[in-house]
Structure 1
């Protein structure tokens, strides 16, 4: 109770300070890394006197952190900027200033074009330069239209301030931590190498310090992030280059850190040491997102994936041999240029063999500047739609069967946040499914033992096992 009282006093003091500060509203599009980047941009702006608000009407700065992975992503940003222009004009009529910024991958790809098409924007800042936000914002306040998209020579992570513990605590008991950025794979459908740059890995010491800071503020689960997270090879404190398996072992030694996850992985970077980490580390959750994209070797070759369907299936067998209870998720692109009916059937066959617990599937979306967009054998939209419907029906069937197989299972559940109904809390299973259980809000951050009783369309339901507290094991 004393700890709770101290936390309440600290939160009240923080809220009072925040009410007097300038305010920033950040709208985040896209992937988990953008969520992490938005939080770190907020940390950078905190040093400039800004606090985050959930209400754009109250903001002194509106910041769009954008994603460029899907078709028409940029157009969605421009549509949003049109709405923001009306807000800025209304604020100006009342004698109030409102700064507008665009960050993230659309900012990196479009650069000066954003300023030309949307004069409402005061600054454009790329994903490798957002540590310079306070400086860029100061220039923008002086009337300059600022575009910061050159890849920074300095390490942005070394220049970002450490967030206050109250800020971390307000974000919840789970956290993302970027360890690797960029991509050297150059899949022919993907824009990431052009917006995030080449692969860069953060050093071990820097990652461990950030993880320890998160845990000291109450975080109990950390998800390591990277465009190709299992390509991470960072400088270790012993002078060697470490791999992700070794990093996970080091992080698992942090007292108070109960759970580890990582995403997104490439099949070609799943090495023996990382597979062994899944076998050996209790804190590493039995869930792996391992995109394959297609089941046809000809399509995989055209995508420049540099693995075959059989390579992927053999890898899955090795992973499951090391951790039999592991749940796999994947990504699929339907209708890549040149994909035939036989190619698509090969994808369905691979899905039947792997039986994913979760999956993300999309119609191929041409990205300007990528090799796939230049091909003249594009698949008609109606064909892509029909194929996607078939694939998603099969993926949903397997996901439902996996959820049903969890019924009756006893698991340790990290309680993360309130549910939609009073008296409910939500956590995630070891396999990343949302789990709803009746519990007291004061238990957020605790790990309790539960039994899965029912599987809904998008979540599992559970009962607490009375008299048993959870641990870091499943």
Structure 2
């Protein structure tokens, strides 16, 4: 779908690292697995489910792929660059396998669904291909592959949510965790491959979500992010009470676990975020004042081609409503430049909408056609790549200016910050985030704080990406 040139995006892939499963003590595993995850946070969350399934079947994690009996890549089809990165990694692992013929290589996730035949038959890069809804079948697929048979299961499900599986927290800081609340997507956005690779929406039962969040809090975690392709359309019927649990009600249930447990969520489709959700956020201090609200384009014409189901004016009214109920709420977005038939006027509409919403940060991409999407079937990818990149550069520069302006407005203010660990630049400084999801860095100064503590930080300076301050009483 998208090719990233963002000035503020995460690494294309976060490689698996050695970890000790919570509560596992000194449990010995007969085999080792190594996993890398690519793309959206849902993929990283899925990898934690996969790790739990593998642990239960005799596989322990390693951070060294050269010693692994099983190497897995949890893949993403959103951007062409991510797909090419995965292909390069598979070729590397295949070379290692030549000297370790017993090693198995598997592809999980969205690329598994989309490119299964290429991986298994044409390129013969992998031993197994497993789609996002088939992770429970991993033990059987591994057994088939060990017997020399290439194995595959990419069937989509209408009810799989993995609600009963307790994820193993990979690469965890012990403070923040992601909790999947639903899977799939019903929004047929023209540029997006997710409905075809992850299937239809289905919500996980609320009781299991609350239990997982409560367990995380008891184990020392102080922040959870509720995950879904479109969290605001969460819907679950509690058969015991015959009551419906909406996303707003779920937010409240998690917030009530303990006032010291921060609650975030991602992602919100603008058409589904309701006043009920906003008012619930306003009612509970531990529900963070931050909303990721992807707009994709500032042009109503392009939004219609994208099948986003709202207009520019409607989106502006939604931003106004959010800020009226939640003054000072942090806002971020996703933006695509160069979608099919986009004109300079459409592009200027995107720039002006950015000025209107004054986003704290954005994930910015230029359009890259993805096979199988509605856009690929209906429209011509007719904007030249150099034009896409030039427009993206203008979007990035504007967002950099807006981010710096918004951060400068915070200088002189004091924020409650959750300490997540050492600053990336210096072990003499702490790093955390405020409710608005802004990174805050401040000196330790010999004070007896630790990860997971809340502190109040007075902001004295900033960059476009970071607030800088000192702890105050």
Structure 1 stretch displaced more, 360-369 or 429-438: 429-438
Alignment match, 1:37: 46
Q: Is the 8 Å Cα contact of residues 220 and 256 (structure 1) preserved in structure 2?
A: no
The CA deviation string for residues 307-353 of structure 1, in whole angstroms up to 9 with x for no partner, is 00000011111110001010110111101111111111111111111
Structure 1 stretch displaced more, 249-258 or 82-91: 249-258
Separation (CA, whole Å) in 1 of partners of 2:449 and 2:413: 25
Alignment match, 2:253: 250
Q: Is the 8 Å Cα contact of residues 408 and 451 (structure 1) preserved in structure 2?
A: yes
Separation (CA, whole Å) in 1 of partners of 2:160 and 2:186: 19
Separation (CA, whole Å) in 2 of partners of 1:318 and 1:153: 34
Instruction: Please state if 1:419 is matched with 2:419.
Output: no
Structure 1 position 163, deviation (Å): 4.8
Residue 399 (structure 1) aligned to one of 400, 403, 424: 403
Alignment match, 2:27: 17
Q: Is the 8 Å Cα contact of residues 112 and 147 (structure 1) preserved in structure 2?
A: no
Alignment match, 1:387: 391
Alignment match, 2:8: none
Residue 102 (structure 1) aligned to one of 107, 127, 130: 107
The CA deviation string for residues 271-318 of structure 1, in whole angstroms up to 9 with x for no partner, is 121121122121111110001111111111111111000000111111
Separation (CA, whole Å) in 2 of partners of 1:196 and 1:13: 31
Alignment match, 1:5: none
Instruction: Please state if 1:206 is matched with 2:208.
Output: yes
Q: Is the 8 Å Cα contact of residues 191 and 367 (structure 1) preserved in structure 2?
A: yes
Please list every run of 5 or more consecutive structure 1 residues that lacks an aligned counterpart in the other structure.
1-9, 469-474
Q: Is the 8 Å Cα contact of residues 458 and 469 (structure 2) preserved in structure 1?
A: yes
Separation (CA, whole Å) in 1 of partners of 2:317 and 2:270: 11
Alignment of 1:316-465 (within 5 A): 316-374=319-377, 375-376=379-380, 378-420=382-424, 421-439=426-444, 443-465=450-472
Structure 1 position 187, deviation (Å): 0.8
Where 2:342 maps in the other structure, the secondary structure is coil
Where 1:131 maps in the other structure, the secondary structure is helix
Separation (CA, whole Å) in 1 of partners of 2:219 and 2:188: 38
Instruction: Please state if 1:234 is matched with 2:236.
Output: yes
Q: Is the 8 Å Cα contact of residues 168 and 214 (structure 1) preserved in structure 2?
A: no
Q: TM-score, normalised by structure 1?
A: 0.89
Residue 99 (structure 2) aligned to one of 90, 98, 104: 90
Separation (CA, whole Å) in 1 of partners of 2:413 and 2:367: 38
Residue 217 (structure 2) aligned to one of 207, 215, 218: 215
Where 1:269 maps in the other structure, the secondary structure is coil
Structure 1 position 72, deviation (Å): 4.6
Residue 116 (structure 2) aligned to one of 111, 135, 160: 111
Alignment match, 1:4: none
Question: Closer, same or farther in 2 for the Cα pair 1:101/1:288, shift >3 Å?
Answer: same
Alignment match, 2:14: none
Structure 1 position 12, deviation (Å): 11
Where 1:443 maps in the other structure, the secondary structure is coil
Q: Is the 8 Å Cα contact of residues 285 and 431 (structure 1) preserved in structure 2?
A: yes
Residue 129 (structure 1) aligned to one of 116, 125, 134: 134
Separation (CA, whole Å) in 2 of partners of 1:48 and 1:218: 27
**Structure holding more helix per residue:** 1
The CA deviation string for residues 387-434 of structure 1, in whole angstroms up to 9 with x for no partner, is 111111111100111112222221121111222322322211222122
Structure 1 position 456, deviation (Å): 2.6
Alignment match, 1:267: 270
Question: Closer, same or farther in 2 for the Cα pair 1:58/1:438, shift >3 Å?
Answer: farther
Structure 1 position 86, deviation (Å): 1.0
Q: TM-score, normalised by structure 2?
A: 0.90
Structure 1 position 13, deviation (Å): 9.1
Alignment of 1:49-88 (within 5 A): 49-88=58-97
Alignment match, 1:314: 317
Structure 1 position 156, deviation (Å): 4.5
Structure 1 position 15, deviation (Å): 6.9
The CA deviation string for residues 225-248 of structure 1, in whole angstroms up to 9 with x for no partner, is 111111111223522222111110
CA-atom RMSD in angstroms: 2.2
The CA deviation string for residues 337-382 of structure 1, in whole angstroms up to 9 with x for no partner, is 1111111111111111111001111111101011212423611111
Separation (CA, whole Å) in 2 of partners of 1:255 and 1:318: 28
Structure 1 stretch displaced more, 376-385 or 301-310: 376-385
Alignment match, 2:179: 177
Alignment of 1:296-311 (within 5 A): 296-311=299-314
Question: Closer, same or farther in 2 for the Cα pair 1:441/1:425, shift >3 Å?
Answer: farther
